[in-house]
Amino acid sequence: MDLNLDGKKALISAGHKGLGYFIAKRLLEEGAEVAICCRREDDLSAALEEYNTMGHAIGSICDFSDPDAVKQWTEKSGSELNGIDICIGNASASGQNLKYGEGLEPWMKSINVDILGNAIFYETAKPFLLESTTASIVQIATITAIEHHDVPITPSYGATKAAAIRMISHLAQTWGVDGIRANSISPGPIFVEGHRWDDIRSRMPEIYERDVAMHPQKRMGTGDEVADVVAFLSSSRSSWINGANIVVDGGYTKGVNF
């Protein structure tokens, strides 16, 4: 299937590693131009060096908990790419050493990044998206937003991701009239080398093996399997999907949603 992404302009927050890496790579492979942001210069340089062997990619340093920085990155990227067709909200405070956090700090970081950061991102991108004929927002959420997942992570993670899903639902209803679609995807346990589930496998093998066994196919998902769904939702081939939260978990969650 041709996703009609050739020449489309995509902004991906935290598009340098983890799921962001797989998403950026997939969109570049489909011919899109990509702008990423992250917090470290060395991460940004390494990602752009690889991405520019696949297509056209630009990037900036941006702390997604800083509204002014988010606004500046979005406006700068839209101007440099000469438009924005796709916004991928991938940045999350969950990666900022909050896995075992208690007290106020993890809540404030999650609110500032996962809710306010994304809100400013999409609001700033809106004038560019209005100029696109295929505007699409894709928010990266989590199954932890829709049911309890017994893993060592701050409760602010699932709570603020749930709020982000609700925000996307609102945008789908209010911006849809202007041709801007907005959807979320909620990955289940996804194994990416060097990231959360790799760490849990090393330090808490009983939790890792338990979660593998809870999947019908007895394995965890991959970054590519998430990126494929993001690419489809980003494309005009998903033109009649708006306001959805797509669970990408290989059957890990057991809810019957109808």
Q: What is the pLDDT of residues 186-227, one digit of tens each?
A: 999 999 998 888 888 989 999 999 999 999 999 999 999 999
41: how many CB neighbours lie within 10 A of its CB? 9
CA distance 58 to 117: 20
Arch. (CATH architecture) of 9-191+223-239 = 3-Layer(aba) Sandwich (3.40)
pLDDT at res. 98:
44
Which residue, chain included where needed, has tokens 């340093």?
61
Domain range summary for the chain, segments of one domain joined by +: 9-191+223-239
For the entire predicted model, the pTM comes to: 0.95
60: how many CB neighbours lie within 10 A of its CB? 16
Check pLDDT > 70 for residue 151.
yes
Distance of CA 248 to the CA centre of its chain: 13
DSSP result, 206-236 = HHHHHHHHTSTTSS-B-HHHHHHHHHHHHSG
Q: Which of 118, 37, 190 is nearest to 110 (CA)?
A: 118
Beta carbons of 88 and 23 less than 8 angstroms apart: yes
